[in-house]
Amino acid sequence: MPATIIQTNAVPFQKTAIDPVTLDIIENALRNARNEMDATLKRTAMSPGIREQGDAFPLIADHAGKMIVGQFGSFIGGFLESYEGTLEEGDMILLSDPYSCAGAVSHSNDWLVLLPVFKNGRILGYTAMFGHQADIGGKVVGSMPVDSRSIFEEGVRIPPVKIWKKGEYNEDLIKLVMHQTRKPDWCQADLNALIASCRVAARRVIEMAERFGDDVYISATEELLARNHRAMKHLIANAIGEAPVTFEDYICDDGMGAGPFKIKCTMWREGERVVLDFAGTDPQSQYSINFLLNENMFRMFFGIYMIMVFDPQILFNDGFYDLIDVRIPEGSLLKPVFPAALSGRTHALGRIFDVLGGLLGQKTPEFLNAAGFSSSPHLFYSGHDAKGKWFQLFQIGFGGIPGRPMGDGPDGHSLWPGFTNVPNEFLERYFPLLIENYETVPDSGGAGLHRGGNGIHMTYRFLAAGTISAHDDRWFVPPWGVNGGEPGRRARKIIEKPDGTQVNIGNKVDAYPVEANDLLHFITWGGGGWGDPLERAPELVGKEIAQGLVTSAGARSYGVVANDNGAVDMAATETLRAKMRTERSPLAVFNYGPDIETLRANCEAETGLPAPVQPVWQTLQAAD
C-alpha cells in the first residue's frame, strides 16, 4: 500500500508557461541549494568521512518525488510506493536498511534523512541527504566485516521511521539508535548535520515558490525534467545501437579466498529506450561484497556517464528514467536475496562504472575510458591511546583515475568527484599516527597516449597498538587499458615491522593487529592507459620522469629512452619506437593484461598472496 500524503489544501497545481530566463534562474537556484546542503553538512558533521571527505549525497525532488538536482539518483518514488504510513507537515523520515528501500542506500552505514516540503497545505517537494556513518555497531570496528554472512552482523538496521512527527522530535528513538554505535558523538553530530542540510534546502525551495509563485515553481521543475528527457533521448539515439554489446569485469575476491566474481552487462536500444541487462552476472556471494543495486540508482549512473562523456552542460535529473530499462537477475551479486551481507558493496559499486565505460565506448571507441574507478579503498584504525582513550579512524583512499579521450587520468583521485582527502594534519592531530609518506606511485598508471592516473602510496606510522582493517580491490585483476593503452598496476597493502620485515596482508582484511612503530604501506591501483603509448610526446615523458610520475625504466613502455633526470635521447627513442612497432601485435581496443588463469599461476610470485579460487557454485556451473 503506498504512502498517504496528508495535505490540507487539495487544489492541484496549474501548468504555467515558463520563459527561459525564469527557468534558468530557478535551475541555478536549485543547483546552489544543493551546494548549500553540502556546505551545511560539512560544517556541522564530526566524522572524518563526512566532515573532511564529503561522503554524503544530497537530493532535491519535485512534488512527485522525482529528483531535480542531486548526485545519486532518486529513491523517493519507490519509497512512496512501499511506505505503509502517512506523510504530513512536520514529519521527517530516517532510514538505513537497504532492503527496506530497494537499495536506495546500499549498506547500513549510510543513514538517509528525507524531508517532505509543504507550503500552504500542499506538498511542494522533497529534500534528502544520506551520509556514511563511521560506526553503527556490529561485529567489527567500522561495521563493515569482510566475513559477514548476513546483514544482521553489520550493525543496526533502521527501517523507515519518523524522527520528527508533526514537528515533534522522537528523542527516545534516537537514544536507542545511538546506543548501538561505538561512536555516538560522531553519529549524533552527523545525523544532526543531515537534518540541517535538508532543512536548509527546504527553506530555499519555499523561498523560490514564494518569489515566483507555486505554479511557476512546479512548472519549472517539470520543464527541467522534460528538457533532460529530450536531451537524453537524443544522446541515446546517437550513441547506442540496436545491436547488443556486452562487457564484463571482475571483482577480485570476497576477502575469504573465493573469486574473481563476474559482473556482466549487455546493452542495446529498442526504439527510444536503452536496455541494460545484467544476465550472466555471478550469483550472490556468501560474504559482504554483494551490492543491492537500485534500478533508479543505476539509471542515474548511466545518465551521469552519458552526460559527462557527450554533453557535460546537461543538468542530470530523473527526467530520463523512462528511457532506460534495467534488468538485474534476482539472487545475483547485484540483487542479493535478504538477508545477504552488503557492507562491502563498494567494490561492485566502483566496478559498475568500469563496466559502463566498456559498454558505452564500443560503438565509438574514441569516447572510451579505460578502467580505474574500480573501488573505494577503506582504512580503519582503532584502539586505545597512551591515555587509555578510545580512538577510531575511518578513511577513504584514492586510486588512479583512468586515461580518457581528453587527456591523462588524474593521479590519486577519488571515484566520486566531490570527495576530498582527509588532510594529513588532521590525521596526525586527532589520531596516534604519523604520515611518513604521501605520494603517487611512479609507473602505476597504464602507459598510453594519455597515461592512466597513478595510484597513491601512503605510509602510516602507528604510535599506539591497535587493529587495522583494509577494504580494497584491483589487487588481482588489473585495471584494463583501451585503444592500445596498457593496464594499470595493482593495489597492495604491506605491514613493515621496526626490524624491516614486511608482509603483504591482502586488500580485504579485518582486525589485523599492529604495534607501536609498525608501518602500513597503503598502496592503491593505477588507472588504465588510453591510446598508443608510442604516440605520447617524448618530451612529456621526460618531464614526468623529472616530476617523479614515471621512472626512466618505466619510460621504456612509451618507447622513450631517458636518464633519471628526464633528459630524453631522441635518436635512441626513435630507434626503440621503430623496433617496438615492428615487433608488437596489432593494438586491441581492450587490453586486459594476462588472462585470469595466468594471473592465478603468477599470483603468489607477484603478490605474495594465494590466488582466489572459484566458489563452489562457479565450479558446478562450469561442469554443467
For Cα atoms 533, 537, 542, give the angle at the middle one, nearest 5 degrees.
100
Asked if residue 348 lies in contact with residue 373, where contact means CB atoms within 8 angstroms, the answer is no
- The model's pLDDT over 560-574, given as tens digits with 9 standing for 90+, comes to 999 999 999 999 999
Lowest mean pLDDT among 300-314, 318-332, 416-430, 524-538: 300-314
- The model's pLDDT over 184-218, given as tens digits with 9 standing for 90+, comes to 999 999 999 999 999 999 999 999 999 999 999 99
Q: Which of 61-70, 78-87, 194-203, 221-230 has the highest mean pLDDT?
A: 194-203
Tell whether the model's pLDDT for residue 458 goes beyond 90: yes
Lowest mean pLDDT among 27-41, 92-106, 250-264, 322-336: 92-106
Tell whether the model's pLDDT for residue 276 goes beyond 80: yes
Q: How many CB atoms lie within 10 A of CB 534?
A: 22
Amino acid 202: pLDDT:
98
Beta-carbon contacts of residue 347 (< 8 Å; ≥ 6 apart): 251, 252, 289, 374, 375, 471, 472, 473
Q: Count of alpha carbons within 13 Å of 224, Cβ hemisphere only?
A: 29
Q: How many CB atoms lie within 10 A of CB 452?
A: 39
Asked if residue 291 lies in contact with residue 341, where contact means CB atoms within 8 angstroms, the answer is no
What three-state secondary structure class fits 87?
strand
Beta-carbon contacts of residue 571 (< 8 Å; ≥ 6 apart): none
Tell whether the model's pLDDT for residue 309 goes beyond 70: no
Element of type H or E holding 481: strand 481-482
Check residues 603 and 374 and name the one with the higher pLDDT: 603
At 544, phi and psi to the nearest 5? -70, -25
User: How does the average pLDDT of the chain come out, rounded?
Assistant: 93
At 422, phi and psi to the nearest 5? -80, 120
Tell whether the model's pLDDT for residue 346 goes beyond 80: yes
Amino acid 99: pLDDT:
93
Tell whether the model's pLDDT for residue 623 goes beyond 60: no
Q: Where are the alpha helices (DSSP H) in 11-129?
A: 20-44, 48-51, 76-82
Amino acid 622: pLDDT:
55
Percent of the chain at pLDDT > 70 equals: 97
Percent of the chain at pLDDT > 90 equals: 80
Nearest to 340 by CA among 530, 84, 112, 98: 98
Amino acid 621: pLDDT:
57
What three-state secondary structure class fits 592?
coil
Asked if residue 302 lies in contact with residue 72, where contact means CB atoms within 8 angstroms, the answer is no
Tell whether the model's pLDDT for residue 310 goes beyond 70: no
Beta-carbon contacts of residue 460 (< 8 Å; ≥ 6 apart): 379, 381, 433, 434, 435, 436, 519, 520, 522
Q: Which amino acid is at 47?
A: S
Asked if residue 592 lies in contact with residue 480, where contact means CB atoms within 8 angstroms, the answer is yes
Lowest mean pLDDT among 61-70, 149-158, 486-495, 521-530: 61-70
Amino acid 364: pLDDT:
80
Residue owning grid cell 588524474: 410
- The model's pLDDT over 104-145, given as tens digits with 9 standing for 90+, comes to 889 999 999 999 999 999 999 999 999 999 999 999 999 999
Amino acid 414: pLDDT:
77
> How confident is residue 617, by pLDDT bands cut at 50, 70 and 90?
low
Mean per-residue pLDDT for 527-531?
97
Could you give the strand order of the β-sheet that contains 390-396, starting from the edge strand earlier in sequence? 390-396, 378-384, 466-471, 508-514
Tell whether the model's pLDDT for residue 6 goes beyond 60: yes
Mean per-residue pLDDT for 350-358?
91
> How confident is residue 360, by pLDDT bands cut at 50, 70 and 90?
confident
CA distance 285 to 514: 29
Amino acid 424: pLDDT:
95
Mean per-residue pLDDT for 515-544?
97
- The model's pLDDT over 406-438, given as tens digits with 9 standing for 90+, comes to 899 999 887 666 788 899 999 999 999 999 999
> How confident is residue 158, by pLDDT bands cut at 50, 70 and 90?
very high
